Homo-oligomer: A and B are copies of this chain.
Amino acid sequence: MLILVTNDDGVRSPGLRALALALGEIGDVVVVAPDRNRSAVGHALTLDQPLRAEEIKTDVFAVDGTPTDCVNLGIHGLLSQRPDLVVSGINGGLNVGDDISYSGTVCAALEATLMGLPAFAISLDTSGWNKTDLSVAAQFAKKLALDIINHGLPEETFLNVNIPRGGCSGVELTTQGKRKYSETVIVKEDPRGRKYYWIGGTEAGFVDLSGSDCNAVQRGFISVTPVRTNMTHEKSYIVMQQKLFDCLKDNA
């Protein structure tokens, strides 16, 4: 079994190392990951510039691109055969609620799914890579990988996994929750008198949604959310059919 491992924290992240090590117990692992931190790059794909891939040690490639680039380049350019599974993480910090479309780690799993491969993303609530928590995450990744290999995943679906810090009380199948963000932009002035802006993004907790990933992790459970690649809003589609939108009536 061949497993492609990537992340968005960069090829030297302890989370990636722990993940690759654990998965190495059940298959052959090839790491293709960004050469530096590429957090919050979403599903960005590099089309305007070519990419470089340096094999920094056997079966570990550092790529000067995004996590999505790494999956794409790994599958079509670097791996000798098509992998059986793609795993992205272990991310330093949760990817729950609306965070997931920003997350390079999650979008790497999305990319793999678009290419027809089973995949999951895994993230840990951490600020300093606590060893016990990291081990919980890595061991869970290994078990989940085996489950996926044995039972498969539903079509056009990948899993987004989040691990709480400080030990976990169990595992929950969850839905995507909703983070609250403090909506601020911070304005400053540089030493040459020119303004610059920081996007705030400080977390202000999450909306209390029963069954959500946010709630599960908050209560000390590992959350496992099935995520779709098709973004059509079916219910809104039906609502829209009944809307009185003039422009939707323009048929020649």
Contacts and interface: CB of A to CB of B under 8 A. Distances in A.
Contacts of A147: 243, 245-248
A18 interface: no
A169 B251 CA distance: 6
Interface residues of A, number: 97
A231 B241 contact: no
A76 to B, nearest CB: 4
A48 interface: yes
A231 B100 contact: yes
A104 to B, nearest CB: 8
A140 B248 CA distance: 10
A185 B72 contact: yes
Nearest to A247: B143
Number of copies: 4
29 contacts: A35-B36, A39-B47, A40-B45, A41-B42, A42-B101, A45-B102, A45-B199, A48-B190, A49-B49, A50-B198, A53-B195, A72-B199, A73-B185, A76-B185, A76-B199, A143-B250, A147-B246, A155-B236, A168-B252, A169-B252, A170-B251, A171-B248, A184-B191, A186-B191, A188-B188, A191-B198, A224-B240, A226-B237, A228-B236
Interface of A: 35-37, 39-53, 68-69, 72-73, 75-77, 98, 100-102, 107, 110, 114-115, 140, 143-144, 146-147, 151, 153-157, 168-171, 173, 175-176, 183-188, 190-192, 194-202, 222, 224-237, 239-241, 243-252
